[in-house]
Each structure stands twice: as C-alpha cells, then as structure tokens.
Amino acid sequence: MMTNVLILGANGSIARVAIDLFLKETDAQLTLYLRKSSRIKNIDSSRVKVIEGDVLDSEKLKEVMVGQDVVYANLSGSLEQMAKNIVQTMDTTGVRRLIWISSMGIYNEVPGQTYNDILDPYRYSAEIIEASDLEYTILRPGWFTNKNEIDYVTTQKGEPFKGHEVSRQSVADLVVKLATSPGLEVRKSLGVSKPK
C-alpha cells in the first residue's frame, strides 16, 4: 500500500536525509512543507510535491494535510504553538499518525546530565502531543553526527538514555520505518542514540 507522508520542516537536517531514504527505499508519496520552498533543490521525482507554508498557518496546514496518512514533523521555533496547531489540524482532518522529533533530556533521562530550561519548548510540545489521542511516536535523538552509518538503539520513556550521539542517517532510518509500518511504536516516546 502506498503511503502519503507530509513532512513538516522539510529542509531540516534529518528531514533531508529521510526524504532520500523514502525515495530510495519506499514507494511513499511525499509532500514537503516548508517556509521557503526555494531551499529544496535537486529532487527529481514524480512522488514529491513541494509546498511553501508556515505550520502556524492553520488554513494552509489543513489544506495540505487532507489525504495524508502520516505527518512527520521536524521543526524548530515556537514548538508548543506548532504542536497545538498540528494536533488540532490532525483532529480536524482525521489524520492519525504523527512522528515528532524532539530532543534527548526532556525527561531528565540522560545519566549524569541535567538540562535547564533550554529544553522547555521540547518538553512542553511533547506534553501536548502525549495528551492528544493521536497515534504519535516522539523521537528524542542524541547529539547529531554526520557519520555515514545506521547504528542506533532506542529506549522507552522512563528508561535511561544510552550514549549521547546518533547519526542523522540513523534517525532518518527510524523515521522511515515508523512512517511505513502502521502500529510500530505507537503512543511511545523513544530515545535514539548510538550504543556506546
């Protein structure tokens, strides 16, 4: 079955790797949604549609979300407001599956590390998503590397984080698996890191 995937923040560093993986390894139809469409270059595929827009523009987001199977959000900025708007728009359009990129440390789950209020937007946006009735998966990756490797472990919410870094390619690999495997890690918050 072909999957329609809406990628919010499609110029993000993980999203760009995920787009390549989706095109190479799946038959998914991709809608790339970002503030400046000119940033997306060299994607020559009939399976890709690029739309310029802001996640906080409710009407435009609703328009682009209709008919999607999966929403993958790879965002920065006003994360709480974005999370509220995405959850509300998904409820309105009946789209159920959300993959949300957050950050390690939002539950103080990294041994030996304490994170201050810099993580509050990630923490609060995760709370908004967890309070929804969506089929969400929140990913909490470690520090990103550009290593050309797929090598990662996941930990569940409440479990201590393993390692401190992970390749963008690893996170993108997990995003593609989640988007194309209905029911995988639904209503879970996963730490993602390279094993030490």
Sketch the domain layout of the chain as residue ranges. 4-193
Report whether pLDDT(161) > 70: yes
Mean pLDDT of the chain: 95
Q: Which of these, 109, 110, 86, 89, lies nearest to 99 by C-alpha position?
A: 86
**CA-to-CA separations, 169 to 31, 193, 196, in angstroms, rounded:** 20, 12, 17
- Tell me how far apart the alpha carbons of residues 23 and 45 are, in angstroms, rounded to a whole number: 8
Residue-wise pLDDT for 170-190, tens only, equals: 999 999 999 999 999 999 999
The pLDDT assigned to 1 comes to: 65
Q: What pLDDT is stored for residue 2 in this prediction?
A: 79
| C-alpha to C-alpha distance for 86 and 58, rounded to whole angstroms | 8
Q: Are strands 4-8 and 70-73 parallel, antiparallel or unpaired?
A: parallel
Which pLDDT score is estimated for 137? 98
Residues 129 and 106 sit within 8 Å (Cβ to Cβ): no
Residue pLDDT, tens place only, 73-86:
999 999 999 999 99
- The CATH number of the domain covering residues in 4-193: 3.40.50.720
Opening angle at CA 175, ends 13 and 53, nearest 5: 55
**For 17-33, what is the mean pLDDT?**
97
pLDDT of 65 over the 80 cut: yes
Distance CA 194, CA 171 (A): 10
* pLDDT tens per residue across span 37-61: 999 987 878 999 999 999 999 999 9
Joined together, the tokens standing for residue 9 give 């923040």
Tell which wins on pLDDT, 184 or 163: 184
Residues whose CB falls within 8 Å of the CB of residue 151, separated by 6 or more in sequence, listed in order: 167, 170, 194, 195
Query: Which whole number is the average pLDDT over 135-159?
Result: 97
- pLDDT value for 195: 85
pLDDT (mean) for 116-131: 95
């309105």: which residue's tokens?
A: 92
- Give the pair of three-digit tokens for residue 159: 């479990």
What integer pLDDT is reported at residue 172 of this predicted model? 98
Tokens coding 181:
């495997």
Assessment of whether the complete model's pTM goes beyond 0.85: yes
Q: Are strands 153-156 and 165-167 parallel, antiparallel or unpaired?
A: unpaired
